[in-house]
A and B are shown apart, each in its own frame.
Chain A
Amino acid sequence: MVLQFHPWASAVEAPFWQVLTQRKMDIFKLDDSLKPIQGYYFTGQQARIPGTDTTVDMPARLCLGTGAFPDDHNQSNRTPAFTFPAPGIVKNTNTIEDFKSIDKTALFKTTVDQIWDDITSGRAVADPSLLNKFLLLTFADLKKFKFFYWFAFPALQSDPAWTADAMQDITAIWSPAKISNLNTQIDQYRQTNLPSQSGFFLVKETHDTVAVARLQDWASFFAGCDESQIIVGFADPSSLDSNPGWPLRNLLALIQYQWKITKVRVLCFREVPGRQDINASKIFTAQVPFYVPVTGCPKAVGWEKNAQGKLGPRLADLAPLMDPTRLADTAV
């Protein structure tokens, strides 16, 4: 069964547009070059319909907030608690015509090349958050308080494609003690490493305990390990029972390139923030039929579809919230 990944759904917080507006007016002005930006995500969550036992899968959201620009005053809150960072680049065009005519394919290719370069150079081993690199195109219509935007979340395609067996609930295969041990280990891992390390990690399974380490420790950490003990883990934004989230795609590309892996167990780490509850986590085995040495940068996909389900930009209309003349209408 071909392994299918649950795509990202962009989630821009409205105050982000305000921050962008300020940047545009005070700093960028007419400069429309690429700027670094930082997004973040939570692990996948299911929400319970109040008063019932029915749960609903929430989208895998990649969020942009007020801390999105690097040298912000608001350093302490750049990524909220229980989130994982995703670095991106934003191009804010000056006119709607620029926004339409911009060479999107070239920008996408540039981003993909960066990801591939980070993988082959080993930079992404040291800083795995680079695997989440995304591209954002924006046009801010400051007079009308309208913001046009389009995200791309490039994912390298594997040829041949990864296949997977069915995803298993962690609770079905591990004892509560072992799960709790994993939770403690991951907690410690997150506390002792940089946020850029937090979303991707290695897990070594022994009889009834587990150990967690950084990707860069692969060789020493897994030295002498049986293949069955090796697990790669990632913070999984998907809440689906049958599919992992998007960040795993580039992680698999990385481990295949770096360690020539053709078969590996994967831990989809999913937590309920603040509850010490990781029972929604899943484990499955991913594999490719044979190892093909990759020479050039693989093809990639990842433009986000809009609300109409088409490849195209989205619009955030904040006039009702920011426009002084419109605000008067809603005043009570």
Chain B
Amino acid sequence: MNSVQNIFFGIREYLSPVLKNSKFKETGCITPEEFEAAGDFLVYKCPTWSWEGGEPSKKRDYLHTDKQFLITRNVPCLRRVKQMEYTDEDAETQIESDGADAWVMSHSSRVSGGPIEEIAGSMDEDEDEEAEAEAQAKVALKAMERLNLQDQLRADQDQDDDDDGDIPDMDDIPDMDDFDDMEEEADPATLAPKAPTEADRGDKILNVRTYDVFITYDKYYQTPRMWLFGYDEHRRPLVSSQIFEDVSQDYAKKTVTIETHPHLNMSLASIHPCRHGAVMKKIIEKVANDEGKEEPVRVDQYLIIFLKFMSSVVPTIDYDNTISA
């Protein structure tokens, strides 16, 4: 099934013409050259992002050979979406587009420090703290309602997940007895790991996950596309059901899918780009209108805006702390 689908995606990508003329303001889509320019700007602004060449056999010739995709590694993810406290502005900013498919910008404020309209904040330092505080108060009640709903959703999903058998079976580790000849003398200079104390239990217990985050160029949708690879606190790869715990409930299993990474022979969670163009167009318009400045949004700022947009999908993956305002 999946391989048929992948072949179809492959052919579809092959047949799609490479976008030549810039129309990012009209459509929210970008050309490969614009992707490269925006990537260069991102790497310049946030040096934890870097370009990679990926699998030599999977190079796309419309992209620079050493600049096939972007990656940032070891991004901390300290809490699951369901654990997030709804203390600050969690307004659902509906990005209007064609009816039912509209993206919901939930917790858009969570990571970027302001609603989506203030995305310009990365370029525009002005912050109206008072207005923000007022808005926070207004949405607090609404957010609490939401929290309950999310718990319920989670409970439902937990049941679904129980039987999907995706979790690696730890019994498969070779018998520990085989290794009991391995003993190291107690070493006073080795710091012992911190044992979790009673105080750490409950809400405070932290499963520190880390993510490697990739951005590729999707030739069919003519937009960037984000991919996630997660690890648990023991550095074991996360399976899809675990990754969905870090995706806003509005998107989990709807727009986040598991597909083959275009530059690695591996399947990763990806935020499906089918609506990216339309949403990016709306965001760019909004930023331009709100700023009301002479200087319009530049295409090299595209990925910075894109990452703010993605923060609403994966609110707990804190790559944003690397982006200097």
Contacts and interface: CB of A to CB of B under 8 A. Distances in A.
A49 interface: yes
B280 to A, nearest CB: 23
Contact of A315 (B110, B170, B185, B316): B170
Interface in B184-204: 184-185, 187-191, 193
A312 interface: yes
Interface in B227-273: 229, 231, 233-237, 239-240, 253, 257-258, 264-268
A71 B95 CA distance: 48
B53 A162 contact: no
Contact of A316 (B174, B189, B236, B266): B236
A184 interface: no
A161 interface: yes
Contacts of A207: none
B78 A82 contact: no
A286 to B, nearest CB: 11
A328 B258 CA distance: 10
B97 interface: no
Interface stretch (B43-51, B115-123, B283-291): B43-51
Interface stretch (B19-27, B175-183, B217-225, B297-305): B175-183
A22 to B, nearest CB: 9
Interface stretch (A7-15, A120-128, A175-183): A7-15
Contacts of B208: 47, 56, 58-59
Interface stretch (A165-173, A225-233, A301-309): A301-309
Contacts of A59: 208, 233
Nearest to B73: A80
A318 B237 contact: yes
Given A48-B321, A49-B79, A322-B267, A311 B234 contact: no
B187 A273 contact: no
Nearest to A330: B258
B173 interface: yes
Contacts of A299: 185
A13 B213 CA distance: 12
Interface residues of B, number: 72
Given A15-B264, A77-B50, A50 B73 contact: no
B266 A312 contact: no
Contacts of B159: none
B96 interface: no
Interface stretch (A96-104, A192-200, A210-218, A257-265): A96-104
B191 A7 contact: yes
Interface residues of A, number: 81
A2 B187 CA distance: 11
Contacts of A104: 182
B182 A303 contact: yes
A320 B166 contact: yes
Given A311-B184, A315-B168, A81 B189 contact: no
A195 to B, nearest CB: 15
Interface in A28-77: 42, 45, 47-51, 56, 58-59, 61, 63, 65-66, 73-74, 76-77
Q: Which 3 pairs from chain A and chain B are nearest by CB?
A: A317-B168, A274-B47, A47-B76
19 contacts: A3-B189, A9-B235, A11-B235, A50-B78, A56-B78, A58-B76, A158-B189, A249-B189, A274-B47, A275-B324, A311-B182, A312-B176, A312-B182, A314-B173, A318-B266, A322-B267, A324-B2, A324-B3, A332-B257
Given A77-B50, A321-B267, 14 more contacts: A4-B190, A5-B191, A13-B212, A18-B264, A51-B85, A51-B88, A61-B235, A63-B73, A74-B53, A309-B193, A317-B236, A321-B237, A329-B166, A332-B257
